[in-house]
Amino acid sequence: MGALYFVWVKLLLACVLSFNVDQKKSLPFSGPLEDMFGYTVQQFENSEGKWVLIGSPLSGQPAKRTGDVYKCPVGKGDNTCVKLELPKNTTIPNLREVKENMTMGTTLVTNPNGGFLACGPQYGYMCGKQQYISGVCVNVSPSFEILNSMAPGMQECAKELDVVLVLDGSNSIYPWESIIDFLLRFIRKIEIGPKLSQVGIVSYGETVSHRVNLSQFANTEDLLKFVRDLPQQTGSKTMTFLGIDTARKEAFMPERGARPGAKKVMVIVTDGESHDSHNLEKVIRDCHNDNIERFGIAVLGDYNRQNKSAEEVQKFIKEIELISSEPLRDHFFNVSDEVALLTIVDALGSKIIALEATTSNSTSSFEMEMSQTGFSAHTSKEGVLLGAVGAYDWNGTVVMHTAGGTIIPPKNQFYNPEIEAGYERLAGYIGYDVQSASTPNGVLYITGAPRYNHTGRVVIYRLNETNHVVVSQILKGEQIGSYFGSVLQTVDVDGDSYTDILLVGAPMYMGSERDEQGQVYVYKADQVQKTGNEHEFTLKPVNQSCCTAHTASCTNKNEPCGARFGTAIAAVKDLNLDGFNDVAIGAPFENDHRGAVYIYHGDKDSLKEKFVQRIPAGGDGGDMKFFGQSIHGVMDLNEDGITDVTIGGLGGVSLFWTRDVAELHANMTFDPVKINLQQAQCEHAGRKSVCVKTKVCFIYSIKSDKEDSMIHYNLTLDALRAKARASFINSTDKNDRRITKPLTIRIREIKCEEQIFMMSARLDFRDPLMVSLEFGLADKDQGPVLDESLPRAINKTLESTLNDNRVLISIPVKYEAGLIFLVQPVDKHIVVKEGEQYASVFNDTTMIGEEVNIIRCVNCLGTLMTHSTMCAPVLTHAVLFVLQNCSTELECASFTCSIPEAKISQVNITFRVWKPTFIKVVFTYISTLIVCIYIYIYIYIYIYVYVYMCVCVCSAQVKIQVSKETLGGIPIWVIIISILIGLLILALVIFALWKVIFPELDCTVFKITKFITRFITNFI
C-alpha cells in the first residue's frame, strides 16, 4: 500500500507542477544578452496584428548604449524583432540633451487607451558643464509613432550666469602667481559663451580697476590667455567694500556686458581685514537687494607670515563670513595661504555649477535634477504614475502626469519630519515601483521605498483636493537588505473592478542558508488599511541548494546563489478559466541564474498559497540568463480564447501558449451490487464462477467550448492485493486484472462502457474487492489539460452478500497480554512532630504539607503471533480517601485522563497530604492514620486478526502512613496500673510455685492470693 501511495502522489505532483501553460511549445524571440534584451516585456495589439514589445535598455553599445524597444510579430510566420528607434525621436525642446546611456526600455507599460509608454530613466541634459539626469518617457501610438516626450523631472537651466571675480591685489598678496594659477583653474570649470556664462574681473587695493568686462571674451580659451598676464593691483590699503560696491554698481552694468535676467554671482578673494569695514552693512545689504550670490574666500597667508594673534584671525574670518551669502557651508571658504587656493577650486566650481544648472539658488542638495523620472511607471484611469527614485537626494518621489498637468509632491510629503528625523539622509528610493488600487472609497496609490531604514517599506496614499499626498498606511519590511517594496502588484482576483490583494516583493530576502531566495508578501486590500503591517501569508520558491563556486563538487558558476523570487510579479488574466485572475512570479536567479517562473491561481478574493506550475528556463544559461526577469500576460495572442503568457530573460523572450482546461467527470457502477459466491451465474474458459458487469460513464466539458477530445481510462481489479481475486473476461492484455481503453467523447456527452470480470475459483472474501478507475486525456501534449481541482481516479469496493458468505463463529482464545505494571513508591511515611503548628493563611502550596509522588508504569510487550499489538492505556479513576478506608457511602475525589498510544506508558500522580488535619487531631488509642489511594488503569489492546479487542483492567493500592511524635513522657496513671498488673502476675507465679513445693499450705495461700486479686481488681 505504501508503494502504491507513493506512486499515486508522485503522479499527482507531476500533474500539478505542469498545468495549462504549455512548456513544451513556445514562440521564442532572441536578442543580445549584453544589451539586456528582454529586461521588460509587454503584449500589444494594433490594427496590424499582435505583437510582443521587448525592452533592451543597453541597446546601441558600446558607442552610445541609448537603449530601445523592439516590436516582435506574433502569428506571422516570422518572429524577427524590429527596433523602434525611439531614442532618435525622443526630444525635449530647449535642452542640450544627453541621450547616451539613457536606458530607453527600462520601463515599459501599455496604455489602457491604446499605445504604450516607454521610459529611459537615465536620460540627461546639460546646464553649463553640469549634467543632470531627469529621465524621460515617450507616449507611443498604436501605430508605433511617438506622440510626445515628457520629462517631468527636468528643471529649467538658468538663462545666463554672470560671474564677477573681485580680487584683492594689495601688497600683502604674495605670491601673485598663486592667484593667477587659481584664476586659470577656476575659469576652466566654467563654460563661457553668449548663451552660457560670462566672467568679469575686478581688482582692488587702495583703488579699484576693471580688468575684464563680462562680455569681453566669447569663449573660455580667449579669457585664459588674457588672465595669464593679469597684473597685480598693488596698494598699501585693502579697500574691500569699495571693490565690492564698485563691482555691484559697475561690473554688472549692461555697458560692461551684463545681461538682463542673468543670475549674478560675485566671488571675493582677499587676504586681510578691510580698511573700510564701516561700509560693510550697507554694501552687503545693497548686494542682497540686487540678488547677487556672493562667495567669500579668506586667504590667511599674510596673517600666518606675520604671526598675528588668534583674535585678529577670527576677526578677519568673521568679516568674510558676513560678506558671504547663506548658507555659509556652501558660500564661505578659507585657506592657509595663496598656494592653497588651488585646493578649493573644485569645491567652489561645483557650487557655482549648481547655480548654473538650475533657476534655484540651491548650491548643495538636489531636488528633481537627478530624479530619474520613469524608473517605474503605472497607467491608470486617473493618469500615469512615474517613479522618480533620485528626487530629493535619492529619497525619491512619485510624479503623476494627468491631462490637466503634472503633480510633483514637495520634498517631505511622503515622510513626517516630526517623527522621522533624519529621513533625508536615508535615500529610501521612493518610487522604485508604483501601483494603484481601486476601492469602494476611491483610488489608492502605492509606492515602494526598498532602501528606507535598510528594511524597506511601502507607502499607501491618496491625493486630496489640493493634490497633496495624504498617507493612509505604511507597510514595513522585516529583514535588512531584503529590498521589500521594490516590486508591487495589485490584483482584482474576482473581476469585480475592485482590488482584492496587494503583493509586495522582497526579492533579496535571505533564506536559511543566507542566500537570496526572496519571498512575496500577500496583503488583503480590504484589511491592509485596518490591520496595517499584517500580511495574510507569504509565497516562497523551491529552496535552492547553494554551494561555494570554488568547491570541486559545486556546479554553480554564478553568484550570488538563490532565486530572487519576486523580482517580477505580474497579474495575469484567468489562465485556468475558473473565473478568477491569476498571478505569475519570476525567480530569475534559480538554477544557477537560468531562472524560473511560478504560477499561482486565484481563489475567490485571494490566492492559493501553493503554486500550480513552475516553468523553468530551458538551455544551459549561455545565450539567455535570468528567465523570469519580466512577465506579462493579459492577452490572447493565438486567438484560442485563453490568455497567453510572455516571459523575458536577458538575451531572450518566450511566448507561452496557454492550453484549454477540460473537465472530465466519471462514475462507476456494478451489476450485481454485491457478490454471492455461492451462486455462480456465468461460465468462461470452461470455469463457472460469479461474474460482475462494471459500467463506467464519463461526461466531458471544455471551458472554451471549442472541441471534442479523446480520453483513456484504466480499470484495475483488487489493486491493493498482490494477486487479484478476479479477472476481466475480454482483456487483451497479458495482465487480465487491468484493462486500458481509449474513448472518443464529445462536449457535454455522457459516454458509457461496460466491462465484465469473473471472480477466481479461490473463494476468499474476507475483505471487499476494490476496483480502481483511472482516467485522463489521451494526448497529454496536445489540446486541453484536465482541471487540476478534479479527481483523476475513482476507487470503489464490491462486497459480498451477508447471508450467504458470512458465518459468525466463536473461538476461545487465550492471550497473554504481555503487560508489566509497576508502582513507585510502594508506601510513604509522614511524621507529625510534637508541637508542630500550621499557618492561619496559606500563601503557597508547600505550606499544606509534604509532596507525595506516585509513578504508575505500564510496559506493553505487544507480542501476538506476527501482528503488532497497540496499547492505549486510559487512567479512568484515581480516587483519594482520607482518615479511613473507603466505602461506597463516602464521596471520594477522582479524576480521569487519557494516555497516548505507546509501548511504554507512565502516569505521574503528585499531591500533598493536608497536614493541618493531623496536627489538630488528638491521638488517643490510634497511633497511625492510613491514606489509601486507588488507581484504576484500563488497557485497550487492538489485534488485527480474529480478535478485535482485548481489555485488561488492573488496579493498585498505595498506602501512606501518618504518625505523630509524643515528647511529654508516660502518664502517671498508666504507670500505676502497670505496677499493679505486674504485682498480680507476680503473685500468681508465687502461688503456683508454693503449691508445688508446699502442697500442705495451699489452702492458706489460696485465700491470701484470692484476697490480693480481688483488691487489685477493685482498684483498677
CATH number at residue 676: 2.60.40.1460
| Alpha-carbon span 951 to 617, nearest angstrom | 61
- Residue 520 clears pLDDT 80, i.e. is over it: yes
Asked if residue 766 is part of any domain, the answer here is yes
The C-alpha torsion from 547 through 551 and 553 to 558, rounded to 10°, is 50
Q: What is the pLDDT of residue 2?
A: 37
Asked if residue 978 is part of any domain, the answer here is no
Residue 533 CB partners (closer than 8 Å, separation 6+): 474, 475, 476
Q: What is the pLDDT of residue 1020?
A: 53
Q: Where are the alpha helices (DSSP H) in 368-503?
A: 391-394
Q: What is the pLDDT of residue 875?
A: 45
Using DSSP's 3-state secondary structure scheme, residue 3 falls into: helix
Q: How confident is the model at residue 887 (pLDDT cuts 50, 70, 90)?
A: very low
Q: What angle do helix axes 176-188 and 345-357 make, rounded to 10 degrees?
A: 40
Q: What is the pLDDT of residue 901?
A: 65
Q: What is the mean pLDDT of the chain?
A: 82
pLDDT > 90: percent of the chain: 44
Give the side-chain half-sphere CA count within 13 A for 839: 9
Q: How confident is the model at residue 1017 (pLDDT cuts 50, 70, 90)?
A: low
Asked if residue 455 is part of any domain, the answer here is no
Asked if residue 320 is part of any domain, the answer here is yes
Answer for the pair 548, 561: CB distance below 8 angstroms, yes or no: no
- Residue 245 clears pLDDT 60, i.e. is over it: yes
Closest CA to 165 of 272, 55, 269, 291: 269
- Residue 991 clears pLDDT 80, i.e. is over it: no
Region 583-596: mean pLDDT is: 94
Check residues 443 and 881 and name the one with the higher pLDDT: 443
| Least trusted range by pLDDT, from 327-331, 805-809, 838-842 | 805-809
Answer for the pair 27, 79: CB distance below 8 angstroms, yes or no: yes
Check residues 752 and 404 and name the one with the higher pLDDT: 752
- The domain boundary residue, chosen from 801, 826, 844: 801
Q: How confident is the model at residue 588 (pLDDT cuts 50, 70, 90)?
A: very high
Asked if residue 471 is part of any domain, the answer here is no
- Residue 14 clears pLDDT 80, i.e. is over it: no
CA 984 to chain CA centroid, Å, is 100
- The domain boundary residue, chosen from 777, 801, 825: 801
112-126, 883-897, 935-949: range with highest mean pLDDT: 112-126
pLDDT, one tens digit per residue, over 723-777 is 888 888 877 666 788 888 888 888 888 999 999 998 887 666 677 889 999 998 8
Q: How confident is the model at residue 655 (pLDDT cuts 50, 70, 90)?
A: very high
Beta strands in 75-224 (DSSP E): 82-83, 96-98, 107-110, 116-120, 124-127, 130-133, 136-140, 146-150, 161-168, 197-204, 208-212
Asked if residue 351 is part of any domain, the answer here is yes
For the chain, counts of helices (H) and of strands (E)? 16, 61
Answer for the pair 166, 243: CB distance below 8 angstroms, yes or no: yes
pLDDT, one tens digit per residue, over 273-319 is 899 999 999 999 999 999 999 999 999 988 888 888 989 999 999 99
Residue 778 to residues 17, 744, 793, Cα–Cα distance (Å): 19, 9, 15
Beta strands in 564-676 (DSSP E): 568-572, 582-587, 596-600, 602-603, 606-607, 613-616, 625-632, 645-650, 652-658, 661-671, 674-675
| Alpha-carbon span 652 to 621, nearest angstrom | 11
For position 284, which CATH number holds?
Answer: 3.40.50.410
Closest CA to 516 of 544, 488, 489, 549: 544
Q: How confident is the model at residue 157 (pLDDT cuts 50, 70, 90)?
A: confident
pLDDT, one tens digit per residue, over 193-219 is 887 889 999 999 999 999 999 999 999
Q: How confident is the model at residue 1010 (pLDDT cuts 50, 70, 90)?
A: low
Q: What is the pLDDT of residue 1009?
A: 58
Using DSSP's 3-state secondary structure scheme, residue 762 falls into: coil
Residue 997 to residues 181, 192, 894, 986, 993, Cα–Cα distance (Å): 157, 162, 70, 17, 6
- Residue 688 clears pLDDT 70, i.e. is over it: yes
pLDDT, one tens digit per residue, over 47-94 is 999 999 999 999 988 778 899 999 999 988 888 999 999 999 999 988
Task: Cell numbers for 926, please give them.
Answer: 490510634
Which letter does DSSP use for residue 638 in this model? S
Q: How confident is the model at residue 541 (pLDDT cuts 50, 70, 90)?
A: very high
Domain count, the chain: 2
CA 977 to chain CA centroid, Å, is 93
Q: What is the pLDDT of residue 874?
A: 45
Q: What is the pLDDT of residue 319?
A: 94
pLDDT > 70: percent of the chain: 80
Q: What is the pLDDT of residue 860?
A: 62
Look at strands 405-407 and 434-439 and give their pairing: unpaired
Residue 235 CB partners (closer than 8 Å, separation 6+): 169, 170, 171, 204, 205, 206, 207
Asked if residue 538 is part of any domain, the answer here is no
- The domain boundary residue, chosen from 801, 836, 858: 801
Region 90-117: mean pLDDT is: 92
The C-alpha torsion from 142 through 146 and 147 to 150, rounded to 10°, is 130
Check residues 160 and 671 and name the one with the higher pLDDT: 671
Check residues 625 and 730 and name the one with the higher pLDDT: 625
What length is written for the chain? 1020
Question: Over the Cα atoms of the chain, what is R_g?
Answer: 49
Asked if residue 467 is part of any domain, the answer here is no
pLDDT, one tens digit per residue, over 798-823 is 887 755 545 556 666 555 555 666 66
| Least trusted range by pLDDT, from 318-322, 468-472, 704-708 | 704-708
Residue 668 to residues 696, 698, 726, 738, 831, Cα–Cα distance (Å): 5, 9, 17, 15, 77
Check residues 969 and 994 and name the one with the higher pLDDT: 994
Task: Cell numbers for 557, please give them.
Answer: 558558476
- Residue 894 clears pLDDT 70, i.e. is over it: no
Long-range contacts of 530-536 (CB under 8 A, 24+ apart): 532/473, 532/474, 532/475, 533/474, 533/475, 533/476, 535/475, 535/504, 536/501, 536/606
Q: What is the pLDDT of residue 883?
A: 41
Q: What is the pLDDT of residue 5?
A: 31
What value, to the nearest 5°, has the Cα angle with vertex 788 and ends 785 and 791?
110
Domain span at residue 245 reads 161-356
Q: How confident is the model at residue 269 (pLDDT cuts 50, 70, 90)?
A: very high
